[in-house]
Amino acid sequence: MLQTMIKTVGINGQISLGKSYAGKKVLIEEQEPGVLLIRTAKVIPDNEAWLHQPAVLAPLQEAMAWAVAHPAQESNLETLDDALNVQEHG
């Protein structure tokens, strides 16, 4: 349900949004003088921002889906060694 809150800005320029927002990051956009849009946000570290570029994000999501569909299994090293030896000498 959408709700409207009336808050008073304190003498130090702060307002309280309530405990449900405690510790959350918010974006505050001044759309025009006197009009503020406050939205919750997640912050992405600069050194991880490249992971969210469209060219990287799609293949990464595809790889993550494949990993979920194909859980890790214990390898049989003897079978692997045999297969590698066949490829080397085959």
What kind and span of H or E run contains 52? Answer: none
Query: Into how many domains does the chain fold?
Result: 1
Residue 5 lies in a domain: no
Domain holding 64, by residue range, is 44-72
Report the SS3 class of residue 13.
coil
Question: pLDDT tens, 44-53?
Answer: 999 999 988 8
If one counts every other C-beta atom within 10 angstroms of the C-beta of residue 8, the result is 7
Query: What is the per-residue burial (b if ≥16 Cβ within 10 Å, else e) of 51-89?
Result: eeeeeeeeeeeeeeeeeeeeeeeeeeeeeeeeeeeeeee
Residue 63 lies in a domain: yes
Q: Encoding tokens for residue 46?
A: 């600069």
Rounded to whole angstroms, the Cα distance separating 78 from 83 reads 9
Residue 58 lies in a domain: yes
Low-confidence spans in the chain with pLDDT less than 50: none
Residue 51 lies in a domain: yes
pLDDT recorded at residue 57: 87
